[in-house]
Chains A and B, each alone.
Chain A
Amino acid sequence: MTILVCDDEKEIVDAIEIYLQQEGYDIKKAYDGEEALEALKQGGIDLMIIDVMMPKLDGIRATLQARKESSIPIIILSAKTEDVDKIIGLNVGADDYVTKPFNPLELVARVKSQLRRYSMMVQSQVAFANVYEVGGLCIDDDLKKVTVDGEEVKLTPIEYNILFLLVKNKGKVYSINQIYEEIWNEEAIGVDNTVAVHIRHIREKIEINPKEPRYLKVVWGVGYKIEG
């Protein structure tokens, strides 16, 4: 697998190279948007990591250009942390957005996750009756098995039931009391943090960065939901 890393700061590219080589990936390097597009044209690239603020051609425009010819996963790497910047990045066709300074382990995890999803999308998947999918999150209710980007995640029975309830009703917001009543089959009187703690544990298991969840979202002051 070959990964294209593009950033105008040479040291950052070198560091990423070291991390990804340790995981067994081949690396191609570029230092501005034009070089990145050039490298993409030559082919043989499975994933691109690209910075936003670069000379000549910035990462947003490069991504927009790249998307015209290629469907490989693109991860944007940027010092801009605002919501607007993330939304713009994802809207021009990037698959993920990582903010600087990043945790190297998190970046590696995201690269792996994107590559798995991509290869799974390429393989034709047989849909089973009791299999629920939201993006890379997949629940097989017959086997009580949860996978994220093809990798199995171990959940406790209560965690499984909560996650299953939310996935089955994708997009619907459940309050703490509603979750309690559905899962424990008891009237929710004087509940405490229990549900909220379970939710956090689920997030820690299924999300790469639990603080910025991709699937299990918190709607503050209302409840929780699974977003596809």
Chain B
Amino acid sequence: MERYSFGKKAVAVVLHQLFFISMIMGFFTMDFFARNENMQYTAVYGGICLVCLIGSFLLLAYLTKASGRVSETGTEISLWGIDRVYGEVLTVLFGIAIWLIFRTVFRANVENFSLAGLLLVAGTVGYVLDTIFLLYYLSIVRRIKKGILFTQTGCYHLMIWIRKLLHVKQDVFFSTEEAMELQKLIQAVEEIADGDTEICLNVNEFHGQNLALAEAINRIGEGMKAAIASNTKSERMKADLITNVSHDLKTPLTSIVNYVDLLKREELENERAKSYIKIIEEKAWRLKQLTEDLVEASKISSGNIKLDMQKIDFVELLYQTGGEFDERFEARGLTIVTKLPNEPVFILADGRQLYRAIENLYTNAAKYALENTRVYVELVKEEELAVFTIKNVAKAPLEMVYEEGGNELAERFVRGESSRTTEGSGLGLSIARDLSVLMGAAFEVQAEAELFIVRIAFKMA
């Protein structure tokens, strides 16, 4: 963009002033000769006067176009200090200045002046007049261009101020008692809508229909409080029930595990019996895992869990997790490809719970990934987020169940079809999701045919 050189506009201003002064001087000279009845000179100076008038208009046109513009082609407008003065004030000042000049000129006894004196007066008046006119006119031009002609005025600001005053004091100045009561009712309803169930209106403050409304609002508050309390209670009772049932399940399970182990130690000749015992043993331990996962999942989903949120390094946690799983992946011929940043990535989380979430995802991969494939683990910084991704190829095509009206996976108990007979409870994914969400992270599962992807995004601390 080519900037306007200051010189160009300055030259235009000076030229304009020269033309203008010349015109004024020409006018007075013409007038002088007209009074002396020298018609030949009158015509000549009249012509000069006309030419100067045209020239000054042309230059004014140029200045009108260029004023305020920063560059020749751009639309940016820069304002002068004078443009910040309220419009009315500027106009009044301009008017006074013009009035003073004209009064001076008309009071002077022009007829008695010599030609030289006349020219001196005309030149001075012309210069002062033109300068004041240009300042005022160009300021108005810039205001129009910037769109502040009407807003940069005293009247406008006064109006805004009054409106603000009226708005704030509306209730106090203009409300009747009834309207005030209504205002309180509206406020109470809004608070209930925002989830505040503690609302309790003093019914003595209300009258007539407003009284009935106030009583109804109080009842809504109480009803909601009761509903929430009973919901919380039933959630907790559900979690407690699951915990108690699982305790009761564990006692017989302990005996099963112990006596199967003792049976194993007996010298059995029968190979088939041995293989049956092995199956019972495996299933008993799986049952144990199931009951523990069930307690865990119900506790987490009912929010019955305390979080110890600390600033921790996600990279360190993933290396630690990698160390725990190293041989479990190797045992199934899985190669884990880890891509982590070289510097710490700090997030706010409960380290133990985050490990449990990640552990569940790694366990899933170790169990359900196709043998001799790669498992990709990645941590990427995306603006303010630390995004963890784990990808693996599943043994069997994944069976997806979609919740009504949404594309979110109903993860609980859902696994690939063929894995139903293998170890694991299928609760792992749900536990990982609930824990992540509890810690404020975004959790996303994606499955395309055999490719299984989980993404967890934490805000960086």
Instruction: Mark A residues whose CB is within 8 Å of B.
Output: 9, 11-12, 15-16, 18-19, 53, 79-81, 100-104, 175-176, 189-193, 195-200, 218-223
Contacts and interface: CB of A to CB of B under 8 A. Distances in A.
Nearest to B288: A101
A4 to B, nearest CB: 18
Contact of A221 (B248, B254, B349): B349
A76 B53 CA distance: 111
Contact of B254 (A100, A193, A219): A100
Contacts of B284: 101
Given A15-B259, A79-B247, A79-B250, A222 B326 contact: no
> From DSSP, what is the main secondary structure of chain B's interface residues?
helix
Given A9-B255, A53-B247, A189-B342, A197 B312 contact: no
A220 B317 contact: yes
B121 interface: no
A119 B248 CA distance: 36
A175 B250 CA distance: 38
A222 B312 contact: yes
10 contacts: A15-B262, A100-B254, A103-B257, A175-B313, A190-B342, A195-B319, A197-B323, A200-B323, A220-B355, A222-B313
A3 to B, nearest CB: 16
Given A193-B326, A195-B323, A221 B351 contact: yes
Nearest to A104: B261
Interface in B243-257: 246-248, 250-251, 253-257
A179 B255 CA distance: 44
A11 B259 CA distance: 9
B142 to A, nearest CB: 60
Interface residues of B, number: 39
Contacts of B323: 193, 195-200
B224 interface: no
A193 B319 contact: yes
A12 B255 contact: yes
Contacts of B288: 101
Given A15-B255, A100-B250, A192-B338, A220 B320 contact: yes
A176 B319 contact: yes
Interface string B308-324: 00101110110111111
Contact of A176 (B255, B262, B316, B342): B316
Interface centre among B246, B254, B326 (most CB of A within 10 A): B254
A12 B284 CA distance: 15
B247 A221 contact: no
Contact of A18 (B253, B262, B338): B262
B235 interface: no
